[in-house]
Chains A and B, each alone.
Chain A
Amino acid sequence: MTDQSKRRSFCQLFAAVVFLCGGLFAEDVRLWRSRQGERFEGRFVRVLLGKVMLENDSGEKYYIPVKDLSEHDKKHLSSIFVPKLNIRFSDSSRSKFRSKNALADDIIRIVDGTATVEAKDKIPSETLRMEVYMIGEEVATDDYKLLEKGAMPLKLNEENDFTCELKLETQSRKYMEYNYQLRGCLYLGSVVIILDRNDQVVDFRSGIGWIKEEQLDPLRQLDVDDFFDSSLKPRPVPRPKFSTSRVGVQ
Chain B
Amino acid sequence: MRDKGNRGGLIKGVPVAVLVSALIHGAVILLAGGLIVFSVYQKAEKKFEPPPPVDRPKMELKKPKVKVSKRVRPRASTRITSKNLQGMAEVHLPEMSGMTEGLGSGIGGFELMPDPADMSLFGGKNSIAIGNDFEGTFYSLEMNRRGGFEGIGVDDMNRVIERFVESGWNTNVLAPYYRSLQKLYTTYIMIPPIPSEHGPAQFGIELSEQVSPAFWVIHNKGKIANKEGGSFRFRGSGDNFLIVRVNKKIVLACGFARFFANEAGMRMAERWAPTDEASGKFLMGHGFATVGDWFDLEPGVAVEMEVLSGDYYGGWFKAMLVAEKKGVYYPKNEEGMPILPVFRTAEIPEKIKNQMKYLLTPNEVDLDSDLMFNVY
Contact = CB atoms under 8 A, between A and B. Distances in A.
Interface residues of B, number: 36
A24 interface: no
A229 B267 CA distance: 51
B357 interface: yes
Interface stretch (B104-112, B165-173, B280-288): B280-288
Given A97-B207, A225-B354, A239 B360 contact: yes
Size category of the binding interface on chain A: 20 to 34
Contacts of B257: 248
Interface stretch (B183-191, B192-200, B225-233): B192-200
A97 B355 contact: no
Interface string B349-360: 001001101111
A101 B315 contact: yes
A101 B314 contact: yes
B239 interface: yes
B366 to A, nearest CB: 14
Interface of A: 97-103, 106, 175, 177-179, 223-225, 237-242, 244, 246-250
Task: Say whether chain B's binding surface is mostly helix, strand, loop, or mixed.
Answer: loop
Interface in B223-277: 239-240, 256-257
Question: How would you classify the secondary structure of chain A's contact residues: helix, strand, loop or mixed?
Answer: loop
Contacts of B359: 240
B362 interface: yes
Contact of A102 (B256, B314, B354): B314
A180 B208 CA distance: 28
Nearest to B117: A224
Given A99-B213, A248-B257, 5 more contacts: A99-B200, A100-B214, A178-B286, A239-B357, A250-B313
Nearest to B215: A101
Contacts of B335: 242
Contact of B361 (A97, A241, A248): A241
Contacts of B286: 178-179, 246-249
Interface string B195-217: 11100100000011000111000
